[in-house]
Chain A
Amino acid sequence: MKKAPFHITIGELHKRGKDTIPFEVTSNKHLVYSSPATLSYNAPGAQGFGVKRAGLTLPESIMLVVAPGCCGRSTTILGDEGGYSQRIFHLSMSENDLITGAHLTSIPQAINEIIHILDKKPKAVEICITCVDALLGTDLERVCRKATKEVGIPVIPTYMYALLREGKNAPMVDIRKSIYSLIQPTTKDLHQVNLLGYFTHLTDTCELYTLLSQIGLTTKEIGRCTTFAEYQTMGCANFNLILDKESRKAAAMMDKKFNIPYAELTRLYERDKIENQYKLFAAALGTTFDDTSFQKEADDAIAAIRKISHNITLSIGSVVNANPFELALSLMEYGFTIKTIFSEPDKDDYTYIDRISERDPTVIVYPPLSPSMINFTKGEQVDFTIGLDASYYYPETPNLAWNQEIQPFGYTGLRDFLLALGKLIEGKNA
């Protein structure tokens, strides 16, 4: 008999509470099914920014992956697709290296051979090691210090430790620490703030730039730095502003090492929460923002979407520039009906799960990583899907991927999202 995909209602999740989330929706408690929808989970095959591509946001750097061949298999393919194939190299480990550690002593020679074939000498080298070295207890910091002396340019460690995915030093947390480790703390510029969190940058029209400039602050983002020298000036910042929680460790490191304090903002799609967040942030800085024009644009977009949202059903995936539960809650507030969410909730998501449950406890949550999802053939009928992965589950349904690399944020993020969704709906109705 054909088995069914596991699913649970939001109401049931709410009733069980955040301390008794079923194991079927907790990825490290079951085997993980690798469907095309979940590729982003599976670094180093990750689409978008995995450790390798994220590491190469450090301008004028190169990366040497020192690992078994299987860990570097995707390098050229990703590199060609992402345009960085000339900046990433591989030093393969053999079975003997597992015992002797000889691969580590070859690193300076390998770097020198790579530099020899490059048109321009890199400004920094990132060494990327993987699960094998995690288990061997490799002291990569020491290896990199030695290599720095031998090759004459900074060599820094990066870790693609899938083994630590749910740990405090998860790979995407740790790579953020690595890429900011070479900034130069010079004289403080009281007017500079670094935006941390994304490997690209915010949309040019994002209000955050304007709001910060109202109080005399300019911004730096690694995704906008084109040279190593420009990147190093991030060390002058008065403070760091975290936009993605995976940057907290990096911010803490910069606070400790370079004396740069930090604050945090969250990407939200609930209009009132965006307003509150800015108010609190401004108050913490001892000032106020004039965000009325941005509020108005968001309010206009909300008013327009409310006119067409009634009776429209949606499914939301997790490969999306949003927290899928927060996005679902926002969209319910704007008049949509949410039928399904493809995501594995964690404790932090309960803020939203409890509120969604109050509005509609029947919303169904599918855990995309559950092996039972191999049996998924057809979900509850919906009119539109949001998130790249949702299009895998509903191939015939119009989809708004909303996983662009240039990052949406704040009022403008909400406005742009609603405009894009409105366009999709109108396109179908036309």
Chain B
Amino acid sequence: MKGLRKYLSPFAPDQSGAVSSLYEMGALIVINDAGGCVGNICGYDEPRWHQYRKSAICSATLRDLDAILGRDKLLIDKIGDTMEMVDCNFIALIGTPIPAVIGTDLRALKRIIENKYHIPVLAIDTNGMELYDKGQTKASLALLKEFCLKQDESQTLSSPDITIVGASALDLPSMESRATLRAFLSHEGFTTSYLEDSLETVQSAKNARLTLVVSPSGVKVAKKLQQTYHIPYICCYPLTQEDYTELSESAHHILGKETAEKKQTRDTRVKRAQLNALVTNKKVLIVHQSVIANTLRNNLFSAQRVDIATWFTSIPKEEHTKGENFSLKEEDDLLALCRKEAYDLVIGDPLLKRALPHWEGTFLPLPHFAISGALNQIDKEEDFLKGLYHA
């Protein structure tokens, strides 16, 4: 039935995605809600909030009369009061269902606040009804537009080899993922920056020579950088030893860099062959964010067939190498697809198993924070694939 969730709770919404992209930027992030949306964003969709880093995420604390009477001035004044208390680089206004219902003009608010307080404002028109990746894309594009595309060309900026986009806590395997990927690329001789690390990394994205897209929310950002600054991009989140090697080779090839001589270190990452033990001759469905799903599919060479399915944005067709790619809309769609295509094996977040009642195939776990949040969160990067070869 349309919209009905009998087994799963809704996935991370667009407003959580937008906040995840802005979390590290030193912004005053104002969720235009009554308080509940902030509770969900901070309490369930933002692992950094509990673990190690403060971000100025505030609720507008809208009340019924504020919404009914359209008291935008009150919100503007509250933001002004808060700027007296909190240091911030810019203001981010995040939409929720309330402004969506009452038709708040976030762009007008942006202009008014910018004129009144002389500070940049990003207006992100999320509505709590879309999924997180849409919100991430909106926020990242807004960052790019405000702080990269608009910026003075003469500004002296760093020039990283690679800008990594779409690397949010909602998409990547663990809290270690960003550091692990950066350490690897550094070891391979590349300088890197994550787009959403700071205002400086956004500004310097135009000087990078390659964009690495690690989740679908980064695709539009990468395309914008390609169109505007002719920066090529690749979509990949390396999972196996072979993926890392291939990523390094591709990056060296695109950047025209010689491979630096490296110290031999013991590689503890999983090997491609290890992942194939359980999938040989099987019909496999991977349900995850589609960059990780596609990278994993490329590793499963011994399977009879590997398809991917996602409720979130699919990566562009040209990035798909083989197999089918399905878009899911409702909760029931997953079970219907598994029955129709008669998969032997489904790989996805452990929570998804609940949405497959009476299905008799094998289910292997691949946690996805945007689906089950902290319930299946892993601490270490190396634990991400364990369920696929330790089953």
Hey, which chain A residues are within 8 Å of B207, CB to CB?
A: none
B340 CB to nearest chain A CB (Å): 20
Given contacts A32-B61, A131-B97, contact A70 B13 (CB under 8 A): yes
A390 CB to nearest chain B CB (Å): 17
Instruction: Return the chain B residue nearest A166 by Cβ.
Output: B63
**CB < 8 Å: which of B6, B15, B16, B64 contacts A117?**
B6
**CB < 8 Å: which of A91, A98, A372 contacts B100?**
A98
**CB < 8 Å: which of B10, B33, B62, B100 contacts A95?**
B100
Hey, which chain B residues are within 8 Å of A307, CB to CB?
A: none
Given contacts A32-B58, A79-B9, A163-B64, contact A42 B35 (CB under 8 A): yes
**CB < 8 Å: which of B3, B45, B85 contacts A6?**
B85
**CB < 8 Å: which of A28, A39, A94 contacts B63?**
A28
Hey, which chain B residues are within 8 Å of A27, CB to CB?
A: 61
A63-91 interface bits toward B, Cβ cutoff 8 Å, 1 = contact, 0 = none: 00001111111111101100000000111
Contact, CB under 8 Å: A371 / B375: no
A102-110, A196-204, A265-273: which lies at the B interface?
Answer: A102-110
- Whether a CB of chain A sits under 8 angstroms from the CB of B87 is yes
Contact, CB under 8 Å: B1 / A109: yes
Contact, CB under 8 Å: B86 / A43: no
Contact, CB under 8 Å: B129 / A3: no
Name the interface residues of A10-34: CB closer than 8 Å to any CB of B: 23, 27-34
Given contacts A72-B10, A90-B5, contact A39 B56 (CB under 8 A): no
- Whether a CB of chain B sits under 8 angstroms from the CB of A320 is no
Contact, CB under 8 Å: A70 / B97: yes
Hey, which chain B residues are within 8 Å of A90, CB to CB?
A: 4-5, 9-10
Contact, CB under 8 Å: A31 / B78: yes
- Whether a CB of chain A sits under 8 angstroms from the CB of B285 is no
Contact, CB under 8 Å: A76 / B375: yes
- Whether a CB of chain B sits under 8 angstroms from the CB of A370 is yes
- Whether a CB of chain B sits under 8 angstroms from the CB of A44 is yes
Contact, CB under 8 Å: B10 / A77: no
> How far is B374's CA from A47's CA once the two chains are assembled, in angstroms?
14
Instruction: Return the chain B residue nearest A372 by Cβ.
Output: B85
Contact, CB under 8 Å: B87 / A2: yes
Given contacts A43-B35, A132-B101, contact A164 B64 (CB under 8 A): yes
- Whether a CB of chain B sits under 8 angstroms from the CB of A430 is no
Name the interface residues of B44-101: CB closer than 8 Å to any CB of A: 44-45, 49-50, 54, 56-64, 67-68, 78-79, 81-82, 84-87, 96-98, 100-101
Instruction: Return the chain A residue nearest B78 by Cβ.
Output: A31
Instruction: Return the chain B residue nearest A92 by Cβ.
Output: B3
**CB < 8 Å: which of A3, A45, A375 contacts B39?**
A45
Please give the number of chain A residues whose Cβ is less than 8 angstroms from any Cβ of chain B in the complex. 69
Query: Which of A2, A71, A160 neighbours the largest number of chain B CB atoms within 10 Å of its CB?
Result: A71
> How far is B35's CA from A163's CA once the two chains are assembled, in angstroms?
8
**CB < 8 Å: which of B8, B54, B128 contacts A68?**
B128
Given contacts A93-B129, A135-B102, contact A68 B97 (CB under 8 A): yes
> How far is B43's CA from A35's CA once the two chains are assembled, in angstroms?
9
Hey, which chain B residues are within 8 Å of A374, CB to CB?
A: 54, 56, 86
- Whether a CB of chain B sits under 8 angstroms from the CB of A262 is no
Hey, which chain B residues are within 8 Å of A33, CB to CB?
A: 56-58
Instruction: Return the chain A residue nearest B54 by Cβ.
Output: A374
Hey, which chain B residues are within 8 Å of A91, CB to CB?
A: 3-5
- Whether a CB of chain B sits under 8 angstroms from the CB of A143 is no
Hey, which chain A residues are within 8 Å of B218, CB to CB?
A: none
A379 CB to nearest chain B CB (Å): 16
Contact, CB under 8 Å: B1 / A73: no
**CB < 8 Å: which of A29, A162, A371 contacts B58?**
A371
- Whether a CB of chain B sits under 8 angstroms from the CB of A114 is yes
Instruction: Return the chain A residue nearest B64 by Cβ.
Output: A163
> How far is B67's CA from A134's CA once the two chains are assembled, in angstroms?
10
> How far is B49's CA from A71's CA once the two chains are assembled, in angstroms?
19
Contact, CB under 8 Å: B64 / A70: no
Name the interface residues of A89-137: CB closer than 8 Å to any CB of B: 89-95, 98, 103, 106, 109-110, 113-114, 117, 130-132, 134-136
- Whether a CB of chain A sits under 8 angstroms from the CB of B256 is no
- Whether a CB of chain A sits under 8 angstroms from the CB of B373 is yes
- Whether a CB of chain A sits under 8 angstroms from the CB of B40 is yes
**CB < 8 Å: which of B14, B30, B35 contacts A165?**
B35
Hey, which chain B residues are within 8 Å of A182, CB to CB?
A: none
- Whether a CB of chain B sits under 8 angstroms from the CB of A301 is no
B351-365 interface bits toward A, Cβ cutoff 8 Å, 1 = contact, 0 = none: 100000100000000
A76 CB to nearest chain B CB (Å): 4
Contact, CB under 8 Å: B39 / A46: yes
Instruction: Return the chain A residue nearest B13 by Cβ.
Output: A70
A366 CB to nearest chain B CB (Å): 13
B337 CB to nearest chain A CB (Å): 19
Contact, CB under 8 Å: B98 / A163: yes
**CB < 8 Å: which of B1, B3, B85, B102 contacts A3?**
B85
Hey, which chain B residues are within 8 Å of A69, CB to CB?
A: 10-11, 13, 128-129, 131
Starting from the known contacts A69-B129, A77-B373, 13 additional A-B residue pairs (CB-CB under 8 Å) come to A42-B42, A68-B129, A70-B40, A71-B97, A73-B11, A74-B9, A74-B39, A91-B4, A113-B1, A131-B36, A132-B97, A161-B34, A165-B35
Q: List 13 A-B contacts (CB under 8 A).
A: A3-B87, A32-B61, A34-B58, A70-B10, A70-B129, A76-B351, A77-B9, A77-B375, A80-B375, A92-B4, A135-B64, A163-B62, A375-B86
